Amino acid sequence: MEETGRKIGRTLGEAQSRIEQDLQAVIDYLDNEVVPTVRNESSRSLRVAAEKLTKLADFMDQQRKR
């Protein structure tokens, strides 16, 4: 019975270690790949929105002058 308990403990320890490694890999992926992409796309989206708002403001100014 003790041997079985040790085997189970060893197996759980190995599983925990593997889960921690996999979790760290996911965190690293998010930090290195996902976050920079989101930041890049967010800034690009803001630039596009700013450009469209500028055009809208120009249009509104033209309409007011008429």
Domain ranges of the chain: 25-66
The residue type found at 32 is: N
pLDDT at 66: 80
The position carrying tokens 């060893």 is 10
Low-confidence ranges of the chain (pLDDT < 70): none
Neighbouring C-beta atoms of residue 59, cutoff 10 Å? 10
Tell me: the pLDDT tens digits for 29-41? 999 999 999 988 9
Q: What is the pLDDT of residue 4?
A: 85
pLDDT given for residue 43 in this prediction: 87
Pure H helices in the chain: 2-29, 35-65
| Nearest alpha-carbon partner for 22 in 14, 33, 37 | 14
Q: What is the pLDDT of residue 40?
A: 87
